[in-house]
Chains A and B, each alone.
Chain A
């Protein structure tokens, strides 16, 4: 039954990983603008086609 030590430790560890990911996301400013990305996602296809035409690489930079 001592497997439960392992199981719970692993589950907490996984949870902590997600928690760290959340903190990192907040820190990078992902939650500062909660509207524009929801609109932007609808443009994606458009941009790809056009960028091929223009041969301009599109960088997604998060500064």
Chain B
């Protein structure tokens, strides 16, 4: 059998379901429609850049009605004046050059759009349009109809565009400019040419050098003075103190030398030092702009919801304006924004954002529904019990852990070293001064300043940024995205790992399906599969995928009853698939915890059931076995302990398993571990882990699709790489090892430099050689070592 893939989206086309259009094959009418739109508008070069770049458009009827509401619209738009409006839309599907092309050619699909510009890394499209000709809602609907549905959430609501801080780039630019020019102008000094004409220009050259050094000293290096000042005030000796001291002393001594005509001073070294250190800072910052590490519930929740007024008319209201007692209308695939009571007869609610559990829960009229669930199926009505901020889930964010800014949770390794470095440095400087003062006062001052200049821990300060920066990039390539470089140090300190169960160590992509019951014939399986085809319920989809390929049979009658199952007639037989009670009046006995199952009845014969068990991620046993050698492992779960037996088989003996944990309890549990002095790493996925992730020393969130959903955390791990967690932890240890080795190397340079300094022989030329040389060796050493360790098999 030849597998065919859809011309538009690239998915495998199901047998007998392909649609031929224009000599191309499509998997569904949605994909075909998109192709039609493009071909009518002469935009088929969309398919030239990348093979099968598209996505199947989703049904969005009524979903974006709220964009007609003026107040909401004003909050979403980035700019509006007259009839010109600009909007920045987050489009998760942006993934290739075809996407950029089609989105930047939107004006050809929709008159009224003047320009659209894509930022690929941020997965954003910035659209300028004429609001007299086209409304935002129409644009959003157009985007959705071509498979680029934008993601509009509460986060977009009224958030002013964050200002980009570019000061580091400016500082670096200034430093580089000054450094280059100073070096050029210093060349005659290096060679000490006694040529008459060069000598006569010396004052001019020196004046220029001095002028060029000023912006570097006052502007580019300003961050170090501020940081040193803060660290003195808080009595925490950090690496910036000796750096700032070195820079200041270097500047004063050089100015003095120049004025007194002793020599050219150290302005060239000063500029190169500042430049290299800023470069290190720049290198350490690696941001994944398409990821967000600061997400709270706001990025999950919709901006507006449909409210039903007393006179049965419908209105779109902003989420924050929803009050207790309001009646809300929730459509298929819409998120329930507040806690409430279900009014409609029944609902299927998918809490996978919250718990990571993909199988929806059935609620009946009068049941409580909690914020964060997603309605699947038909439209439901509910009455509001709490406003947004007081809902069960969102209350978690009022916990103090989310309020405090975690700037310096711990001391960095560089700061730890500089605690010893600074006093020793001062000691040597004063000792040298004390020795020379009895011989020659002038040399004594020279030695004192030379020590501070040469020992300025530039190589030391560069080690950590370059090592971490490189490791950060290596990990990013392996789909482990860290928030910043400090996380690597924290990873290396971890001694306890807490895992969430559902969605973290289990996958919600597929389930382990087991059949229990009487023998079922192949022809009956074919019948069941055909019945399931018509259903969109996640369980039906999973079972459908699980059952073997089958030919198509015409279903005569089909009825899906929410919360119960499917009733269908095919080949003259009545087929029931669904809950035990619906299929054959089986009442779940209380003794056994009810498992998720689909029962089958064909004609009058009850066959049995397919039970869905949690599917654990691949390689999990080995991972836990390896991890348990070095770490304490604990598993927290929000579910009941139905899975205990299964888990105990997989996990190493003695692993602590705790069930029935509410979000706040998870947070408290981590806190308790920390109070015992443990360094806790939390691995979780859903919003219910958000508290624990924030509380832990390192919070890692597992994500099946890194582009879209992950709660606030320190690192995001692509779910496919979960089994390599141990490797990542080992690499963090290696990073610390590399830094220690490199510290040794840079101290060696300091010793050599100090030997020159204390004997009073530090010439500007020597300093100008030692500083860049040490920098280059350190940078190449750490880069080489980190690449070496990351490629070596660490198993």
Q: B-contacting residues of A (Cβ < 8 Å)?
A: 1, 4-5, 8, 12, 15, 19, 22-23, 26-27, 29, 31-36, 39-40, 42-43, 46-47, 50, 53-54, 56, 58-61, 63
Of the four ranges (under 10, 10 to 19, 20 to 34, 35 or more), the interface on chain B belongs to: 20 to 34
B777 is an interface residue with CB less than 8 A from chain A:
no
| A26 adjacent to B100 (CB under 8 Å) | no
Is residue B739 within 8 Å, beta carbon to beta carbon, of the partner chain? no
A54-B108, A59-B114, A63-B86 known; A33-B121 Cβ under 8 A: yes
On chain A, the residues within 8 Å of B201 by CB distance are 4
24 contacts between A and B (CB under 8 A): A1-B200, A4-B201, A8-B208, A12-B181, A15-B181, A19-B173, A26-B169, A33-B119, A35-B121, A36-B100, A36-B120, A39-B100, A42-B97, A46-B45, A46-B101, A50-B105, A53-B42, A56-B107, A56-B108, A58-B115, A59-B114, A59-B115, A61-B115, A63-B128
Q: Whole-angstrom distance between the alpha carbons of A61 and B115 in the complex?
A: 8
Q: A12-B181, A50-B105 are in contact. Are A29 and B164 (CB under 8 A)?
A: yes
B 111-151 binary contact with A (CB < 8 Å = 1; else 0)? 00011011111100000100000000000000000000000
Task: Indicate if the CB atoms of A22 and B173 lie closer than 8 Å.
Answer: yes
Task: Point out the residues of chain B lying under 8 angstroms from A1, CB to CB.
Answer: 197, 200
Q: Is the CB of B166 within 8 A of A27?
A: yes
The answer to whether A31 touches B115, judged by C-beta atoms less than 8 angstroms apart, is no
A-contacting residues, B56-105, CB 8 Å: 79, 86, 97, 100-101, 104-105
Chain A residues with CB below 8 A from B174, complex form: 19
CB-CB under 8 A from B544, the residues of chain A are none
Distance A40 CA – B169 CA, assembled complex (angstroms):
24
B606 at the A interface (CB under 8 A) = no
User: Chain A residues with Cβ under 8 A from B166's Cβ?
Assistant: 26-27
Chain B residues whose CB sits within 8 angstroms of the CB of A27 once the complex forms: 166
Smallest CB–CB gap between A18 and chain B, Å?
A: 9
Further contacts, 12 of them, CB under 8 A, given A1-B200, A19-B173, A33-B120: A8-B204, A8-B208, A31-B169, A33-B119, A35-B120, A36-B119, A39-B120, A43-B101, A50-B42, A59-B115, A63-B79, A63-B128
Min CB distance B610 to A, Å, is: 46
Chain A residues within 8 Å of B164, by CB: 29, 32
Decide if B515 is an interface residue (CB 8 Å cutoff): no
Q: How far is the CB of A44 from chain B (nearest CB, A)?
A: 11
Is B21 engaged at the interface, CB distance under 8 Å to the other chain?
Answer: no
The CA of A43 and the CA of B118, in the complex, are separated in Å by 13
Q: Which of B17-61 contact A (CB under 8 A)?
A: 42, 45
Closest B residue to A53 by beta carbon equals B42
Contact between A5 and B204, CB atoms less than 8 A apart: yes
Q: How far is the CA of A34 from the CA of B289 in the complex (A)?
A: 12
Residues of A near B169 (CB, < 8 A) are 26, 31
Do residues A36 and B118 form an inter-chain contact, with CB atoms below 8 A?
yes
Q: What A residues does B42 contact at CB under 8 A?
A: 50, 53
Residues of chain B lying within 8 A (CB to CB) of residue A35: 120-121
Contacts of B115 in A (CB 8 A): 58-61
Is B177 interfacial (CB-CB < 8 Å)? Answer: yes
Query: Please, what's the 1-or-0 string for B172-203, where 1 marks a CB less than 8 Å from any CB in chain A?
Result: 01100100010001000000000001001100
Residues of chain B with a CB closer than 8 A to A12's CB? 181, 208
- C-alpha spacing A53/B43, complex, angstroms: 12
Q: Answer whether A40 and B208 are a contact pair too, CB < 8 Å, given A12-B181, A33-B121, A50-B42.
A: no
The answer for the CA separation of A7 and B622 in the assembled complex, in Å, is 70
User: Looking across the interface, which residue of chain A has its beta carbon closest to that of B124?
Assistant: A33
A47 in contact with B105 given A12-B181, A31-B169, A36-B120 (CB within 8 Å): yes
Q: Are A39 and B97 in contact (CB under 8 A)?
A: yes
B170 within 8 A of A: yes
Q: How far is the CB of B433 from chain A (nearest CB, A)?
A: 38
Going nearest first, the 10 A-B pairs with the smallest beta carbon separation are A36-B120, A39-B97, A33-B119, A35-B120, A19-B177, A26-B169, A39-B100, A43-B101, A36-B118, A1-B197
Give bound CA distance, A35 to B169, whole Å. 18
Q: Which B residue's beta carbon lies closest to that of A8?
A: B208
